[in-house]
Structure 1
Amino acid sequence: MIDPTPLPILVLLPGMDGTGRLFDPLLHALPPNVAVQVLRYPTDQVLDYPALVERVWQQLPLDRPFVLLGESFSGPVAVSIAARRPSALLGLVLCSSFVRNPRSALAPLSPLLKLLPLRHLPFWPMDALLLGGFSTASLRSALAAAIAQVTPQVLRARLQSVIAVDASQALVATDVPLLYLQARHDRLVPASASILIRQLRKDARLVAIDGPHCLLQAAPTEAAVHLQRFMHELAQARVALNGS
């Protein structure tokens, strides 16, 4: 029997490329009854985390229930939005993400970022970090195309933002159900990132999925299943709360 309960909108915040193009595999894996809004960041304009939070806030569907998903780089944005407790927000999802610099040992190297020739770096290190053993020709092509759209200046600024970010107190201030999608083979964001999130939000639900850092791209079907389950639970809870 089909559940008639209407699902909230799924609002997707992209990874460091900010283009939203890399959500295509997930969009194809989700059924037609899941309404999705993909938000995008400028590819040629430097915006720090607070500026991105304001940009996202202006685009949220505040007149209709929604679930907010922050992928990788966008985790702190999603958490900061949730900390404001918008009335239409039903749940928060973090995917391969963090609230503090996930590689704090590399922070002292941040001054070197301005010297890094991002446009001319070989692609294979990125492939190894983001896709690893799950790499395919189509995924490599999509990843390279998305990153190529972003100026080196913007990429450097976003890397600097990750190094300096600390959204832990914002996470404590959130009160909606939280789902964390963890990639079992993530070479970029270690398990310590999800451990911290669960320390700050002990009620957070963690789901581990076989996949690399680019989890929604390499394992979209399994991710979609968990997202739908989470959204169904939130929708049903909302109906029960409203008594109709």
Structure 2
Amino acid sequence: MKIVFLPGMDGTGLLFNELILNIPREIDREVICLNEIQGVSYHQQAEYIAEKIGSSNILLVAESYSGRIAYELCNILGSCIAKVVFIASFVSCPGSLAKLAAVLPAYVLKPNLLPNWFMKMLCFDGRGNRVLLDQVREAITQVELSTLKQRLLNIAELDEPKDHQSTPAVYIEGVQNSVSAK
């Protein structure tokens, strides 16, 4: 089985580094850098990734923004996706804050302009610490502002999925000082 990591809105995969360091080397794994793939919409991105990862037995790990990509990959690859692990992820628009963020001008998305309280609300639902915020800021600096803006628009325009998936899935949600799996 191969583990495929799909990163959050930054698209870099850098925020998976600590997790990947703790996975035994003999386990086949790949981090997809969203900034290197073609396609603007979730479905286009999923089609490109499906071609890249092939049709082997896959465990998807989707963080935040990539939840909908994982859903689309399940539609495209079907039973080739053995399981999906959603980490603080979503397949439809997560709320009004996402719609508000989509209308912000691109220059406001520069990580050094965003106050910590806003970053905590946007990225960690009001939680998070300085180390996490610094890691997110580092990842965001590696992404074009126009790309971030497009991803915010994608999130704001997400509708409810129409197809029910039979792929086994786990949802991991951060809660104050612990983690909850559903």
TM-score, normalising length from structure 2?
Answer: 0.82
Aligned pair partner of 2:58 in 54, 66, 87: 66
**Whole-angstrom CA distance in 2 between matches of 1:32 and 1:115:** 39
Aligned residue number for residue 94 of structure 1 = 86
**Whole-angstrom CA distance in 2 between matches of 1:9 and 1:151:** 30
Q: What are the ranges of 5 or more consecutive residues in structure 1 without an aligned counterpart? A: 1-7, 186-208, 212-222, 227-244
Any conservation in 2 of the 1:127–1:135 contact (CA below 8 Å)? no
Q: Write out aligned runs for 1:53-202 (5 A).
A: 53-62=46-55, 64-104=56-96, 107=99, 109=100, 112-114=103-105, 117-119=108-110, 121-129=113-121, 130-131=123-124, 134-137=128-131, 139-170=132-163, 172=164, 174-185=165-176
Secondary structure in 2 matching 1:59: helix
Deviation at 1:17, TM superposition (A): 0.3
Aligned residue number for residue 178 of structure 2 = 210
**Whole-angstrom CA distance in 2 between matches of 1:28 and 1:143:** 18
User: Are the structure 2 counterparts of residues 110 and 72 from structure 1 closer, same or farther at C-alpha, using a change threshold of 3 Å?
Assistant: closer
Deviation at 1:91, TM superposition (A): 1.1
Q: Deviations over 1:152-186 (max 9, x none)?
A: 1111110010010125224x1x222111111124x
Aligned residue number for residue 240 of structure 1 = none
Aligned residues: 178
User: Are the structure 2 counterparts of residues 151 and 86 from structure 1 closer, same or farther at C-alpha, using a change threshold of 3 Å?
Assistant: same
Counterpart check, 1:14 vs 2:10: no
Secondary structure in 2 matching 1:12: strand
Q: Deviations over 1:197-241 (max 9, x none)?
A: xxxxxxxxxxxx815xxxxxxxxxxx9xx8xxxxxxxxxxxxxxx
**Whole-angstrom CA distance in 2 between matches of 1:49 and 1:133:** 27
Deviation at 1:32, TM superposition (A): 3.1
TM-score, normalising length from structure 1?
Answer: 0.63
| Larger strand share, 1 or 2 | 2
Any conservation in 2 of the 1:94–1:181 contact (CA below 8 Å)? yes
Identity of aligned residues (%): 26
| Larger helix share, 1 or 2 | 1
Deviation at 1:35, TM superposition (A): 2.2
Deviation at 1:123, TM superposition (A): 4.6
Aligned residue number for residue 242 of structure 1 = none
**Whole-angstrom CA distance in 2 between matches of 1:176 and 1:168:** 14
Indicate the larger mover: 119-128 or 149-158: 119-128
**Whole-angstrom CA distance in 1 between matches of 2:160 and 2:69:** 9
**Whole-angstrom CA distance in 1 between matches of 2:161 and 2:96:** 14
Q: CA RMSD in A?
A: 2.8
